[in-house]
């Protein structure tokens, strides 16, 4: 349920309503907007009638049901968009941010070289996998904690916040100690034990859409994280599996405006994993910015032909620099 406060409601009224919500077994989720203050009461929906009693409390204007099954992620529960701060980077703010780097951390030399390139080109954050979920058990699986240490060193060198994937609930604490953003990959979108674990973490979460996941299912996965206490969730469209074989996946560009309508959470687009071929990454990235994405996630490698993971979809530095120049002009048009 949503409890809408009156414009002139006093702080003591607000505090009283929150205490009452928690006393009847619900979680209070406060959203202060310019025009109004909303309190989301989230919990067992079988006792909705009890919450209607809040209409009689001082400062309350009305009590309304939340229509969507994802309560905390729904745009109904928040006035405006969520802006997630990662260091000095504001995800969901006025600037379209870019997360860039190699698919996998292969060595200190490889990551440092790429990190300096993407930093100079204007990237907002550095990506790199220390633990790699691969289709084949014989493929490169990542450097593990050594890879995390290299990422942390690259952050010290460049000042770029680090984004890396967590694959297991047991690894959340380890990765949280090194990374600035915890990424949930497409294969783990509905790994609910892992979602609950990152929900207890203090770091923001980048939640990728699964290959066969609907938008509502993606938002329900975000709800698992938020219901566990972590409201700092970024959604990532990275392509879905369709009947088409000309590309690795099919980028659902329509997901961006639809998600922006359904939720207040930031939406990132990963064209690299969607298309699987570097020469098509640029047009898809520009399309994502044009439809209102809050950011991009781009794979960059200084020697993609020698990459241990996803070389064919990685941009060389000069191509990434060109992309950064082109998306800036598009972003300026779309966001002004």
What residues contact residue 69 under an 8 Å CB cut-off, 6+ apart? Answer: 216, 220, 223
Whole-number Å distance between alpha carbons of 140 and 125? 24
d(CA 254, CA 295): 15
Contacts of 37 (CB under 8 A, 6+ apart): 4, 5, 9, 14, 30, 31, 79
Question: What is the pTM assigned to this prediction?
Answer: 0.89
* β-pair type (89-91, 162-165): unpaired
Q: What is the pLDDT along the chain (336 residues), one digit of tens a residue?
A: 889 888 888 899 999 999 998 888 888 888 877 677 888 888 776 666 778 888 889 999 988 888 888 989 999 888 789 999 999 999 999 999 999 999 999 999 999 999 999 999 999 999 999 987 666 775 667 788 999 999 999 999 999 999 999 999 999 999 999 999 999 999 999 999 999 999 999 999 999 999 999 999 999 999 999 999 999 999 999 999 999 999 999 999 999 999 999 999 999 999 999 999 999 999 999 999 999 999 999 999 999 898 888 888 999 999 999 999 999 889 888 876
Q: Which CATH code is given to the segment(s) 84-334?
A: 3.20.20.70
- Rounded-to-integer distance, Cα 122 and Cα 194, Å: 32
- Please say whether the beta carbons of 6 and 57 come within 8 A: no
Fold of 2-65: Alpha-Beta Plaits (3.30.70)
> Among all chains, which residue has been given the structure tokens 């959470």?
265
The helix/strand count (H/E) of the chain reads as 11, 14
Sketch the domain layout of the chain as residue ranges: 2-65, 84-334
**Tokens 């998306």, located at residue:** 327
Instruction: Estimate to the nearest angstrom the gap between the alpha carbon of 140 and the chain centroid.
Output: 25
How many residues appear in the chain?
336
**Six-digit token pair at 330?**
């598009």
């Amino acid at each position: 349920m949503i409890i809408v406060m009156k414009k002139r409601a006093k702080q003591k009224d607000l505090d009283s309503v929150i205490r009452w919500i928690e006393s009847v077994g619900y979680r209070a989720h406060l959203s202060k907007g310019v025009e109004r203050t909303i309190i989301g009461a989230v919990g067992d929906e079988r006792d909705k009638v009890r919450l209607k009693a809040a209409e009689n409390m001082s400062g309350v204007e009305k009590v309304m049901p939340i229509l969507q099954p994802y309560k905390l992620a729904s745009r109904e529960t928040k006035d405006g968009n969520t802006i997630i701060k990662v260091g000095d980077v504001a995800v969901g703010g006025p600037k379209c941010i870019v997360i860039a780097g190699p698919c996998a951390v292969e060595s200190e030399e490889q990551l440092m070289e790429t990190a300096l390139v993407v930093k100079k080109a204007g990237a907002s954050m550095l990506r790199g996998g220390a633990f790699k979920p691969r289709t084949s058990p014989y493929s490169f699986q990542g450097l593990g904690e050594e890879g995390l240490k290299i990422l942390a060193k690259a952050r010290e060198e460049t000042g770029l916040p680090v984004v890396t994937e967590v694959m297991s609930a047991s690894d959340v604490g380890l990765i949280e100690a090194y990374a600035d953003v915890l990424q949930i990959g497409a294969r783990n979108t509905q790994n609910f034990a892992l979602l609950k674990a990152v929900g207890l973490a203090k770091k923001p979460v980048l939640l990728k859409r699964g290959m066969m996941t609907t938008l509502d299912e993606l938002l329900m996965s975000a709800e698992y994280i938020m219901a566990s206490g972590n409201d700092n969730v970024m959604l990532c469209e990275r392509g879905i599996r369709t009947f088409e074989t000309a590309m690795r996946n099919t980028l659902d560009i329509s997901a961006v405006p639809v998600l922006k309508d359904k939720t207040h959470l930031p939406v990132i687009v990963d064209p690299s994993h969607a298309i699987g071929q570097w020469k098509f990454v640029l047009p898809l990235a520009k399309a994502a910015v044009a439809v209102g994405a809050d950011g991009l996630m781009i794979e960059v490698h200084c020697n993609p032909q020698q990459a241990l993971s996803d070389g064919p979809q990685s941009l060389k530095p000069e191509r990434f620099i060109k992309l950064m120049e082109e998306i800036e002009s598009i972003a300026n048009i779309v966001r002004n």
